[in-house]
A and B are shown apart, each in its own frame.
Chain A
Amino acid sequence: MKTVIIKYNAGNTQSVIFALQRMGIEPILSNDPEEIKSADKVIFPGVGEAVNTMRHLSELGMDRLIPSLTQPVLGICLGMQVMCRHSEEGETPCMGIFETTVKKFVRQKGSTLKVPHMGWNTLGEVGSPLMDNTLENQHVYFVHSYYVPLGEHTIAATEYIHPFSAALRKDNFYAVQFHPEKSAGPGAKILENFIAI
């Protein structure tokens, strides 16, 4: 089993490596197209901001490579967002794997709910190899100001201000808005599920 983490300027890369190591997996950190294509599993982390991230990914050719991959790919947080078609963050054209737009959370007048959505929130509407039934109502850790609306690719939902996609799947592409690498037991379970796909 060869697990490759895509190497670019994503802020949470080290944490993802440590999370896999805690599961006994030694991932390879690489942006070499051949290395990535030959992996059994590819993890695409992400923390930061969409405009610079897309620019950086395109300099590395990753914006074209990632959509062409055929093995299971897991996007995390901003990784998930740039796998969508377009992000309202800087009105950025993204990779277009998931045909959906990434929208900004808008704080509702008179609401106590702040933006960013930061902290532990529950998963709902689960039931897939990645997001199995044991994860229903489990808490995972989120930090984000932009979200993917519910849609045909949604495989888990969470509610903040309104319901949104906590996880997506299309064919071999999987993605989560939260941080499994920082989500204690449920996070480890989701990474294990991904590795087992």
Chain B
Amino acid sequence: MLTKRIIPCLDIKDGRTVKGINFVDIRDAGDPVELGALYAEQGADELVFLDITATNEGRKTFVDLVKRIAQHINIPFTVGGGISSVEDVRPLLQSGADKISVNSSAVKRPELINELVDAFGSQCIVVAIDAKFIEGKWVVHTHGGSRPTDKVLQDWTIEAEKRGAGEILFTSMDHDGTKSGFANSALSELNQKIGIPIIASGGAGTMEHFKTTFEEGASDAALAASIFHFKEIAIPDLKSYLKKEGIRVR
């Protein structure tokens, strides 16, 4: 049977791992390749590397990093950050990335999803969505959560699926960094409407939070960063906990 996936996320700036708490107050948490290999060895099911470097020089460093990751890591990984065209994606996939994620650029120009799907296939196109609950609506935000848009989470997710996205990575900005659990009611609603896998992101604080997002949120995968980077939860412990709780994991 297909298992639920545990996905550590590594934010990368100038070749180093960082993680923002509520998207600000960035802290350093190590070398991406070393950390990624460690997670793979510990039983992580996939990895996500998000490039938050803004400069062109930094972009080149990131492509080199992707190649080093692919050389050393034997599980699938997604890369994202600053992708806005087919030409941005090609070197990343050619370097060994399995999937790429788009966020702000797809909101700005939704046809980008179709273009990427046509060029590389649905299976490697992840649409990442950051949203915040404002006055009864999940408002989609771009640019690392700093800019609200006129898009609503559910409609945008459905549109992304129609345009051919292979997977959705939904981050609740309200839950991110709070360690109070994932946005399970929003996830459960999305999961009823959507036929592609959804990765839950934002809010992981305890092992129980993973169990509840798989059960109550019907999430296919759960992503977290700081709790892994700062060794608050070890992946082998998380896996054995979930197994004991009757969740199918690898």
Contacts and interface: CB of A to CB of B under 8 A. Distances in A.
Contact of A179 (B76, B95, B221, B250): B76
Nearest to B4: A119
Interface in A119-152: 119-122, 139, 141, 143-145
A113 B221 CA distance: 13
A169 to B, nearest CB: 24
A85 interface: no
Interface string B35-48: 00000100001000
Interface stretch (A16-24, A33-41, A57-65, A66-74): A16-24
B197 A114 contact: yes
Interface string A1-41: 00000000001101100110110000000000000000000
A188 to B, nearest CB: 7
A103 B44 CA distance: 31
B206 interface: no
A121 B121 contact: no
Contacts of B67: 14
A182 B196 contact: no
Contacts of A160: 1-2
B96 interface: yes
Contact of B220 (A22, A114, A141, A182): A114
B229 interface: no
Interface residues of A, number: 38
B74 to A, nearest CB: 5
B17 to A, nearest CB: 21
Nearest to A180: B74
Contact of A115 (B74, B75, B98, B195): B195
Given A119-B197, A160-B2, A184-B75, A139 B70 contact: no
Contact of B218 (A15, A47, A112, A120): A112
A116 B71 contact: no
Nearest to A159: B1
B158 interface: no
Contacts of B1: 121-122, 159-160
Given A114-B195, A115-B195, A22 B74 contact: yes
B79 to A, nearest CB: 13
A143 B221 CA distance: 14
A187 B207 CA distance: 28
Contact of A119 (B5, B70, B195, B218): B5
A21 B71 contact: yes
Interface of B: 1-5, 40, 45, 67, 70-71, 74-76, 93-96, 98, 120-124, 166-167, 191, 194-197, 218, 220-221, 250
17 contacts: A11-B124, A14-B67, A114-B197, A116-B196, A116-B197, A117-B2, A118-B123, A118-B220, A119-B2, A119-B4, A121-B1, A139-B250, A141-B75, A160-B2, A184-B75, A185-B74, A188-B74
Minimum-distance CB pairs A-B, first 10: A14-B96, A139-B250, A120-B250, A143-B123, A182-B76, A15-B96, A121-B2, A48-B121, A120-B3, A18-B71
